[in-house]
Amino acid sequence: MGILNSGQDAGASSSKTSDNGISKVHVLFQRHGQAISNIVDFDIPGIEGETVTSAQLHDIARTGRGYLRTGVYLPDGLTQFGLDMSKVFVDSVVGNGIRLDNVYMLVSSPLTRCFQTLQANRPAFQLVGPFNGSDGGNGAVFCHPGLQEATPWPQDFPAAVKKVNGQKTISYVNVVGGNSPGCGRVLGETEVDVTQMIWADNVPNKWETLEARFKAATELPSLSDIEEAVQEGRVWLRDMAKKVLDAHLRDGQLGTPKMVVCIHGGIINFITQDWHCNYVKNSNGDWGWRGSAALKNLEVVVYAFESLTDKDARLVEVEMDEYYARTLGNKYYRHLGSETNAVYRNADGSLVNQKTRHWKFIQDKADEVQGFARERKRVLEQLLMWTGAEDFLNSK
């Protein structure tokens, strides 16, 4: 349950730290738009990510056509529907002549779908302060690997980057997207300029080589390793919040300073240490697992750090705030702490242990990827190191 309240609209509230040490920097976690990994299209024959072959990859790369039924193993990126979702989000926010104010920093998981989402959503934010450049428009997006998804599918590792004349790009095979039959129709290759993705200082990219990527994808993850990586990301995020607060106070700005963090529906549970997954009620009255994400694509929750100094960098959800409800609208703004239907009890009254269920899901997916690697090692290597259709064809 949230314990923070601005006392007035967040856009006009005091930026000072309260007496109990709670930071007034608001951290807005937004789930990315619809990604290739989110599509499910079993109505039309096509390629299934779990069984994709080199021949199928070659055909898509050569023709730019085809159908995908599922995409969790394919190179990461937003569907066309996902890109269009951001246009709707921006229009919804700025339609009344307003933008989300006092956004000092854009932060992302290092995965493509999050970076793309933030870049597309930028017009909805009033970007201020030194981290956005003097004109607020240099496109910088800061990232930390502790914020990336915990599942070991190929699309859950930072994409292999192609560097040409100082420009950094990634590419992926785009599809129509949405939720209707035909959503998996291939549209061709999409290239994303990630030159403005700013990696956290002194944090190595552990996935530079094929050997490192393959090892990370095929080793059974440790819960303690995931939690350690996430804590490093959370502490880094808290340190950035300190810098944001310093800049806000130094410049004498009014209102609440904000950071917008584009995140994944699963890893946010580890980051906030506040589990909200997705379930469906079985015929016996118990709750069955549906997925790790309670947040739908582009939905936003608002947190703040409990303290600017504690070693765990704990986050707490900000109390329901009319400013966010008005600016973002009920379509996008969620306050999970006030949603009674987010608490799941089985027929016998027992509370569903959401963290345990989530961890089992991660383990199950790790087993699945290990099986994929045993059967199609070469395909997994190609997916992990994908830098574009042309490079793929030339490597054949």
Tell which of 193, 208, 239 closes a domain. 193
Query: Do both 208 and 130 map to the same domain?
Result: yes
Q: pLDDT at residue 221 above 90?
A: no
Residue that finishes a domain, picked among 193, 216, 250:
193
Q: Decide if 255 is inside a domain.
A: yes
How many whole angstroms separate alpha carbon 385 and alpha carbon 395? 11
Residue 85 lies in a domain: no
Query: Which pLDDT belongs to residue 18?
Result: 42
The C-alpha atoms of residue 112 and residue 89 are separated, in whole angstroms, by 19
CB of 11 within 8 A of CB of 102? yes
Q: Within a domain: residue 3?
A: no
Which residue did the predictor score with more confidence, 98 or 30? 30
pLDDT at 352 over 90: yes
Q: Is residue 129 part of a domain?
A: yes
Give pLDDT, residue 95. Answer: 84
Q: Report the percent of the chain where pLDDT is more than 90.
A: 81
Q: What does the pLDDT read at residue 396?
A: 59
- Residue-level pLDDT at 137: 52
Q: What are phi and psi of 91, to 5 degrees?
A: -60, -35
- The residues, any chain, with a CB within 8 Å of residue 183's CB and separated by 6 or more, are 39, 40, 41, 79, 81, 175, 176, 177
The pLDDT value recorded for residue 379 is 95
Q: How would DSSP label each residue in 23-50? A: ---EEEEEE---BGGG-B--SS--EEGG
Total tally of structural domains belonging to the chain: 2
Establish if 215 belongs to a structural domain: yes
SS3 of 223-277: the string is: HHHHHHHHHHHHHHHHHHHHHHHHHHHHCCCCCCCEEEEEECCCHHHHHHCCCCC
393 within some domain: no
Cα separation, 171 vs 346, in Å, equals: 44
- In sign, the C-alpha dihedral spanning 240, 169, 33, 203 is negative
Q: What is the pLDDT of residue 49?
A: 85
**Mean pLDDT (whole number) for 139-158:** 94
Q: What is the pLDDT of residues 296-322, one digit of tens each?
A: 999 999 999 998 888 899 999 999 999
Helices and strands of the chain, counted as H and E runs: 10, 15
Given pLDDT bands bounded at 50, 70 and 90, which one contains residue 343?
confident
Whether residue 131 sits in one domain with residue 45: no
**Residue 232 shares a structural domain with residue 302:** yes
pLDDT in tens, 32-90: 999 999 999 888 899 998 899 999 999 999 999 999 999 889 999 999 999 999 999 99
Put residue 252 in one of left, alpha, beta given phi > 0 → left and psi -120 to 50 → alpha: left
E strands, 140-221, are 141-143, 162-164, 167-175, 186-193, 197-199
Q: Tell me, what's the pLDDT at 12? A: 44
User: Count of residues for the chain?
Assistant: 396
pTM: 0.93
Residue 29 lies in a domain: yes
Share of the chain above pLDDT 70, in %: 92
CB 173 within 8 A of CB 74: yes
Whether residue 265 sits in one domain with residue 169: no
Confidence of residue 98 (pLDDT cuts 50, 70, 90): confident
> Could you tell me if 206 and 184 lie in one domain?
no
Instruction: Clarify whether residues 186 and 266 are in a common domain.
Output: no
> 18-27, 121-130, 202-211, 239-248: which has the minimum mean pLDDT?
18-27
Mean pLDDT of 324-343: 91
212 and 296 fall within a common domain: yes
Residue 339 has pLDDT above 60, yes or no: yes
Query: Is residue 3 predicted with pLDDT exceeding 50?
Result: no
* Same domain, yes or no: 237 and 348: yes
Domain assignment of residue 289, given as a range:
10-34+100-156+194-377
Please tell me the predicted confidence (pLDDT) of residue 321.
95
Looking at the structure, do residues 371 and 320 belong to the same domain, yes or no?
yes
Are 55 and 113 part of one and the same domain? Answer: no
Q: For position 15, what pLDDT does the model report? A: 41
Reference 153, options 264, 228, 238, 258; nearest CA is: 264
What backbone torsions phi and psi does residue 103 show, to the nearest 5 degrees? -90, 105
Pairing of strands 141-143, 100-108: parallel
Residues 53 and 122 in one domain: no
**Residues 212 and 249 both lie in one domain:** yes
Residue 20: band (very low, low, confident or very high) from pLDDT cuts 50, 70, 90: very low
Query: Would the pLDDT of 11 be above 60?
Result: no
How far CA 40 is from CA of 79, 175, 185, 279, 346, in Å, comes to 12, 11, 11, 18, 28
Q: Which residues make Cβ contacts (< 8 Å) with residue 97, sequence separation at least 6?
A: none
Confidence band (pLDDT; 50, 70, 90) for 133? Answer: low
Computed over every residue of the chain, the mean pLDDT equals 90
Confidence category of residue 239, pLDDT binned at 50, 70, 90: very high
Give a yes or no: residue 396 inside a domain: no
CA-closest candidate to residue 203, choices 143, 271, 243: 143
